[in-house]
Amino acid sequence: MIDIFGTLGPSCENEETLAAMFAEGMTGMRINLSHVMLKDCADKIQRIQSAAKANGIEPKILIDMQGPEIRIGNMPELELAEGMSFSLGSGGVPVDRIVLDSLEKELEILLDDGKILAYVTDVADDRSSASLTVKRGGKLTGRKSLAIVGKTIDCPAMTESDIENIKLAGEYGITAVMQPFVRSVDDLKCVRRALDDNGGQGIEIYAKIENMAGVENLTTFFPYADEIVIARGDLGNAMPLWELPKVQKEIAKACNAEHKRFMVVTQMLSSMEHSKVPTRAEVSDIYNAVTDGANSVMVTGETAIGDNPVEVIRYLKKTAETAFNAQNS
């Protein structure tokens, strides 16, 4: 059967809601560690385990690491309108020096998983800041993702926070680690080594495909990853969006050929953050992912911050189950 994953967040942190989600067919939960440390999630993990046990389920609990993804620093909310100018670095949106060193005039910058698009108009001579103009606006808050279109920033596979979290993973009952932006087998080897050195020999690795390096090196990951994750958010920023469905199909085909498990994630039921009923396109997307061979499907903001986390899981489970039964009838 298909694994059904939700994402933990304010909308579903209480045990009653979690129990209802497991009752509707959820089999596991993702915890996003981009904004929090694992040690701060102990009580939440206990609630996940208790809610699952009440439904006779042994839950899969995934921690999504920071990895080599670039994020802005902490900051108050900033409303960015089309045509508006703002700055990165000194006196503006906080970013690491490695970002400023990579900027050049005319380069495009994607913020918050591509929701916001801007381009560089000037870079200070001392690389302390850069000026940008907004092409596609939105609300920007701290710790959101940043990507430079057409350029890769070379960062270590794991942050110090990732290593600290891995040290506690086995103790906290984590079943798998999601490694973002996998670029080469060296990234996965690094994670495996950290797990094995800290009592996590039985913890699986889910390799997130989120850039073109990951797509190009996909099959080399198979011996080192327990599951491949087609993470369509950032992957969709790495190419023209209309090419994403083709790449998703190609990844699925490659995984099926080698009997490698894979997951599909991102905006599967996005409309249900505020609606109790999904769009026809969304249920078709889930159905097609499962008939393409997906072993897991996952929602993120739909359960973490959405209005209808229980209903989201119901539609995700029912649609995946229908597709699975049709495929195996």
167 and 303 fall within a common domain: yes
| pLDDT digit string, tens, across residues 226-277 | 999 999 999 998 899 999 999 999 999 999 999 999 999 999 999 999 999 9
Count of domains for the chain: 2
Is the pLDDT at 59 greater than 90? The verdict is yes
Instruction: Answer whether residue 73 is part of any domain.
Output: no
Q: How confident is the model at residue 153 (pLDDT cuts 50, 70, 90)?
A: confident
Whether 305 and 252 map to the same domain: the answer is: yes
What CATH number has the domain bearing residue 300?
3.20.20.60
Strand partners, 85: 133
Are residues 173 and 37 part of one domain? yes
Give the pTM. 0.89
Whether residue 212 is predicted with pLDDT greater than 90 in this model: the reply is yes
Domain boundary residue, one of 148, 166, 197: 148
pLDDT band at 67 (very low <50, low <70, confident <90, very high): very high
Q: Are residues 218 and 283 in the same domain?
A: yes
pLDDT in tens, 81-109: 999 999 999 999 999 999 999 999 999 99
Q: Could you tell me the CA-to-CA distances from 169 to 41, 152, 191, 200, 215 in Å, in that order? A: 11, 29, 12, 7, 28
> What domain range includes position 140?
78-148
The CATH number of the domain holding residue 134 is: 2.40.33.10
Cα separation, 35 vs 145, whole angstroms? 11
One-letter amino acid of 112: D
Q: Name the strand (E) or helix (H) holding 179.
A: strand 176-179
What is the identity of the amino acid at 160? E
Residue 308: inside a domain, yes or no?
Answer: yes
Query: Which of 148, 182, 203 is the endpoint of a domain?
Result: 148
Considering the domain architecture, whether residues 243 and 96 belong to the same structural domain is answered as no
> Of 295, 86, 65, 323, which Cα lies nearest the Cα of 182?
65
Do residues 92 and 192 both lie within one domain?
no
